[in-house]
Amino acid sequence: MIHVPGTPGLARAVSGGQVPVGSSPPAEAVACHTCGLTDPVGVDDPSPRLSWAARLLHPERLTVSTGGCEVWARDLPPGTSWADVPEEALEPLTPYTWSVAGHLGGTFVTGLRAGGAWDAPWIEDGGNESGEGAVRLGGTFGWEPRPGRVWLATTALGVYRAVLNGERLGDEELAPGWTDYGRRVRYRLADVTALLRAGENLLEIWLAPGWYAGHVAAGGPRRYGDHPAASARLFLRDPEGVHPLAATGPGWTAGDLGMPRADLVMGETVRLGSSPDLEPSPRTGETPPGRDGTARLTDSGRERAVAVAQPPPGLLVEADPAPPVREIGTLAAASVTEPVPGVHLLDFGRNVVGRLRLRIDTPYPVHLVVRHGEELTATGRLYDANLRTAEQRDEFLLPAGRHVAEPTFTFHGFRYAEVTGWPGGMSAGDAEAVLLSSALPVTGTLTASDPAVRQLVSNIVASAEGNLLSVPMDCPQRDERAGWTADISVFASTLSFLRHTQAFLSGWVTTLIDGQRRDGAVPHVAPVLPEYGFDSPVWSDAIVEVPWLLWRRYGDDRTLRRAYGPMRRWADYCLAQCDDGVRPGRALGDWLAPGTVETPRSLIATAALARSLRLIADVAGVLGEPHARAYGEASTMVSGAFQRAFLTEHRLRTETQTGYALALAWDLVPPKNRARAAAALAELVRADGHRLMTGFVGTPLLLPTLSETGHHDVACRVFNQEGHPSWRYQLRAGATSMWERWDAWHHRRGMHTPTMNSFNHYAYGCVGDWLFRHVAGVGDDPRGVNGGFTEPLLRPGPVPLLRQAHARYDSPAGTVESGWRAGPDGLQFVFRVPPGVTARAVLPVHGTWDGMTVNGTFLMGLAERLPTRRLADGSCSLDLPSGRWSITAPAAAADPLLSAWDEL
């Protein structure tokens, strides 16, 4: 973290006074990143980008040093918020410190910097023919203390934990994550200097099938290979350079870990027998099966030789560019019941993702079976039909004594856990849920006076955290758990308000590109699973949408450039399919939309192509590529074809909420017909009873489109709808995470078909973007092209049934806040604009502006310093420089909002 000085007080803010970054001691923490990460260890980017969430107001100097010696420096002009360190300034396996203005900065450690090359041998358990379960691979090496630092680089085709001399290395879970194993795999780097001892040292790799050899989606096990494999090398980094010390190889041995079954989807079996070398934890006296390196569950009498494995040809091994999966918290059981004798049911109060940790003191050996599920049946038993073939079942075979029972190489999606075999009565203190997620830093908060809205935001966060495990999954419980492209594409903006997503999504874009076919078709899931298909509109357009979001939100032109060629191949592939500019309907359409009128799939395909072509033209402009004009003209051509094929003046030939939302949000309606098309959409929504008739394609666009086209009142009515289908219907039904279907559970029909019914699916959490932008008011221009959130648009939109709403976003340009409070005495708006930034505020204040005040001064007296403009809809627009702002409007300004309350 770094710090910038505080912003001026309210009275001074009227003059737009600013405090230069770096001119005074730190007052408020601001995030600093290297390649989008906080103080990363293992950076393989040849020219790492250093960034800080503040814009310099004066020239400053950036320095990079190691061991107290400066290795590179650069003078930065005002307005700078990032810099790239040249490749030649850095050495491998070296810790660096960087700073700007003396107190802004961070650290990073370079990785191997080998361009994906990897020479350590790969090994596997030569005696485990089934490939199931977790095994221990171990080898010894000698060490004579000497100057320098020792680094361990470890990777796996599967998932692993590394243990050195009985101590677990790092806190990562399910390392090194899931990638397209035919193309690349990640490695993790650890400083092990302090754990070495003179003489012989024992390095162990606990290895399980993971995504490589375990169950993946519905395709069963061994998708990529029959057996997991691991590879590691130790290096000494001293003043003379980098020296290899030891590595995995044929001299290593393999042994059992007491986990004969370890599968991400199916679950894990942990067996603690009476083996003489079962060592209790020296810290607690308890035996924690699989929890860390303090307890070895091996049987030394069954050590066997390893086999040298062959990785896929051309496999790239790179430092992980994204945050690892970690334990992000625990949750105690809210209640324990015993629906039938010997069966205990734990309720954790909300849907979570992770695993169960049990604390047991048993006088005799026990066999515990733990099953996990999201819901209960009508008779109060665990409901698992929607898991399909996923078992989500863990077993523990424990001897008498005290134990902490927890699996290591699996995860589950659940609210309820059913435990059988517990000795005697079970209490809530005997169990806790361990929550797992790719640990992304928090960047945004949103609150409102309505408890239902607060619960909705909580549900959005729960589904976001639970489904970010190495890749952005669709769901965490059934036999799917895949990186569906449309889900993250429509949710990415909401997610990027709530969490710092740059490194995570950039790494996933690389995986998406890896799965692109040679003809340009883009897969529906990444890592690619061919059975799920290719080239569906919106799904495959994620190859354009997600890199563009990373540019707009973070100024990440590197991901944009990496994706530019694949974007063009995708666009050219689609254009080749067009008939007079109209792309044929494809695959998935407006997935899971309710109602009886389907949005034509060719309409969706053509609209999505027009948008992607326009975005690619914008990308070309940002990158200085020569193709902007060509793709702009192609977008105009496809837009014209859309109008001829699907519009009659301002009305769609097939009227659906999704169709209108696409046409309006993506500027496919001629400007002269735009207002009437927006009115037609509002009319259609009213005719539908203000109920959602949209699926995965239309839902993220419907409310923003209504709000942006002068029908915010209609958007609010849809949002406040409590009948089915709606967000509030799910809340009334007790949802604690986002559902896959609007009617995952229905008050008359009960559970939806179990073949596809997830209660933890973040896609419909895309409404969070509307809440940030159009309710609380934190956003940027959706049609802008500049990167890094440098032009905030503060557009609060009071909602009937809410007395107040407020959002904060720690953007790459600094902290932005927007909020409002309403009552019979008027409206109050509060804003915060970071140093060096000017924000445009649009206030829903119609009629006369007499009586409005800004930080206690009448607005009309600030015409020269805060010029105001009346927009076409009568609202007030003004440019706010850096500072904190409080703007009040008299009672008359609140009349429209209060009248809407009256109607409700």
Task: Give the N- to C-terminal CA distance of the chain in Å, as an integer.
Answer: 46
User: Measuring CA to CA, which residue among 852, 817, 12, 709 is closest to residue 447?
Assistant: 817
Query: Taking the mean position of all CA atoms in its chain, how far away is CA 183?
Result: 23
Distance CA 441, CA 435 (A): 15
**β-pair partners for 41:** 109
Distance CA 552, CA 557 (A): 9
Bond before 527 cis per omega within 30 degrees: yes
Task: Give the amino acid at 861.
Answer: G
The verdict on whether 903 is a catalytic residue reads no
For the four alpha carbons of 686, 689, 691 and 693, in that order, the dihedral sign comes to negative
CB atoms within 10 A of CB 781: 13
The 3-state DSSP class for residue 634 equals helix
The 3-state DSSP class for residue 732 equals helix
For position 619, what pLDDT does the model report? 98
DSSP 353: E
Q: Which of 132, 418, 480, 817 is catalytic?
A: 480
Find the largest Cα–Cα distance for the chain: 88
For position 130, what pLDDT does the model report? 79
DSSP 863: T
For position 27, what pLDDT does the model report? 52
3-state SS, one letter per residue, for 654-689:
CCCHHHHHHHHHCCCCCHHHHHHHHHHHHHHHHHCC
User: Measuring CA to CA, which residue among 584, 709, 603 is closest to residue 656?
Assistant: 603
The pair phi, psi for residue 697, each rounded to 5°, is -85, -45
For position 732, what pLDDT does the model report? 97
Phi-psi region at 612: left, alpha or beta (left = phi > 0; alpha = psi -120 to 50): alpha
CB 3 within 8 A of CB 104: yes
For position 299, what pLDDT does the model report? 45
Distance CA 638, CA 659 (A): 16
The 3-state DSSP class for residue 895 equals helix
The verdict on whether 480 is a catalytic residue reads yes
Side-chain-side CA neighbours of 775 within 13 Å: the count stands at 28
Distance CA 566, CA 550 (A): 16
For position 753, what pLDDT does the model report? 94
Taking CA 86 as the corner, what is the angle to CA 84 and CA 87, rounded to the nearest 5 degrees?
A: 125
Question: CA distances (Å), 532 to each of 240, 484, 849, in order?
Answer: 51, 9, 56
Give me the torsion for CA of 149, 154, 159, 162, rounded to 10°.
-40
pTM: 0.95
Tokens 């505020």 belong to which residue?
841
For the four alpha carbons of 775, 777, 780 and 781, in that order, the dihedral sign comes to positive
CB 245 within 8 A of CB 119: no
H helices of 167-299, where?
210-213
> How long is the chain?
904
For position 891, what pLDDT does the model report? 83
CB 108 within 8 A of CB 85: no
376: part of which helix (H) or strand (E)? strand 375-376
701: part of which helix (H) or strand (E)? helix 699-708
Distance CA 197, CA 202 (A): 10
Distance CA 880, CA 862 (A): 12
Residues of the chain under the 70 pLDDT cut = 1-28, 274-301, 904
Distance CA 674, CA 680 (A): 10
If you write DSSP's letter for every residue of 590-633 in order, what string do you get?
STT--SSPPPPHHHHHHHHHHHHHHHHHHHHHHHT-TTHHHHHH
pLDDT digits (tens, 9 = 90+) for 856-873: 999 888 888 888 898 888
DSSP 771: I
Distance CA 368, CA 498 (A): 38
C-alpha R_g of the chain:
28
For position 904, what pLDDT does the model report? 65
Question: CA distances (Å), 273 to each of 289, 298, 367, in order?
Answer: 11, 10, 12
For position 867, what pLDDT does the model report? 86
Q: Which of 406, 465, 740, 817 is catalytic?
A: 740
pLDDT digits (tens, 9 = 90+) for 517-533: 999 999 999 999 999 99
Distance CA 483, CA 480 (A): 9
